[in-house]
Amino acid sequence: MQQVSEVFRSSNKVLAVREKLANNVLMLAKYMVLILPPPQEPCRGSVDWRKLPGISGELGAHLEQLALLDDEIRQLREKSESKTSQELRQAGEFAYDRYRLGVAVFDSIRRRIGDRHPDENKDWVRPFIHAMCAWEEANYRKKLNLPDILCQLDDFGELASLKYSTFLSFVTQGERYPNLAWEEAYARNARVV
């Protein structure tokens, strides 16, 4: 509630809500790519993120190793006192749910203050989540020495994860429609869903 109050007290509500939304999306992406089911298992939500470029559902199998390589996941393990892989996964799911709630709250506020495209199919939050998840998965894959699947699917090759990471700047710098501006900036075939 304190963060919501900060948004409404701000002189620039659009940028204030975007900052809060972006922070939650970044953390959501960090955990989402770790808890997605593997490709052979059915999707549990309305959107199968694993069908989008750069998101595989393969990282959950590497959670133990990531707890040694990534500070955030290491801290999650320590805070939750996770002893087993299953307990670490549950702690990751809990963290994901926490940030998913934050995304829902600030996305709702964003929509109420009119920071959205009139055509729901052109709204920018889902593409933003996709871009941050693809970027985060690429970061994890690099730490794990796994193949970079995003660079294989994007015509920017080895720079694809950097390209996806820039979506954040389009959001936080106040582009009216960040997804459309991002696509225009990388017009080679940049569309994200």
**Mean pLDDT value across the chain:** 93
pLDDT of residue 104: 97
In 3D, which of 172, 147, 177, 136 has the Cα closest to residue 52?
136
Please check whether residue 144 is in contact with residue 137, taking contact to mean a CB–CB distance below 8 angstroms.
no
Quick one: pLDDT at residue 192?
52
For residue 168, pLDDT beyond 90: yes
CB 69 within 8 A of CB 76: no
Spatial separation of the C-alpha atoms in residues 37 and 48, rounded to whole Å: 10
pLDDT at 44: 80
Residues in contact with 20: Cβ distance below 8 Å, sequence separation at least 6, in sequence order:
3, 6, 7, 102, 106
How far apart (Å, rounded) are the C-alpha atoms in residues 89 and 35?
A: 7
Residue 191 DSSP symbol: -
pLDDT at 82: 87
Does residue 53 surpass a pLDDT of 60? yes
Cβ(192)–Cβ(52) below 8 Å? yes
The pTM for the full model equals 0.92
Using pLDDT thresholds of 50, 70 and 90, give the confidence band for residue 67: very high
| pLDDT exceeds cutoff 80 at 190 | no
**pLDDT the model gives residue 98:** 97
Report how far residue 96's alpha carbon sits from residue 89's, in angstroms, rounded to the nearest whole number: 10
Question: If 0-12 CB within 10 Å is exposed, 13-18 middle and 19+ buried, where does residue 154 land?
Answer: buried
How high is the pLDDT of residue 188?
A: 57
